[in-house]
Every structure is written in structure tokens, then in C-alpha cells.
Amino acid sequence: MSVGGGSTTGQAKAIALTTGLPIVAVPTTYPGSGTTDVRGLTDDGAKTTGRDQRSSP
């Protein structure tokens, strides 16, 4: 479960993508990322972006 703004929602999306857990989000702001299936992940300093239904709130 995530409660917060864009960074919190983004982290919940990354966790959902990597673990397969569902997203339960309570946004406290209106983040653009909170309404799409676009995700960004950083691994070893390299950021990748993409779309994945598993990261859709």
C-alpha cells in the first residue's frame, strides 16, 4: 500500500512490477505517473522506462 505523492506512487509501481504484488494506492497529490502504466526503474545507475500493465494503478 502506498500513501503519498508521485514518488510514493512510483515506488509502489516498481514494487508491483518486480514482485507481482498488486498496487493499493492512496494518492495525496495528482501525479501524472499515478494515472498511467508507464514506469521507470533504476538499476546500477541506469534508468529504464517502459509500459507494463502490472505497474498500472
The residue extents of the domains of the chain are 2-55
pLDDT (0 to 100) of residue 40: 78
pLDDT (0 to 100) of residue 34: 65
Measured distance CA(44)–CA(35) in Å, rounded: 27
pLDDT (0 to 100) of residue 31: 61
pLDDT (0 to 100) of residue 25: 80
- What is the reported pTM? 0.58
Question: How does pLDDT run across 11-49, given as a tens digit for each residue?
Answer: 888 888 889 888 888 888 876 666 777 877 888 889 888
Characterize the bridge pairing of strands 46-51 and 38-43. antiparallel
CB proximity list for 24: less than 8 A, separation 6 or greater: 1, 2, 12
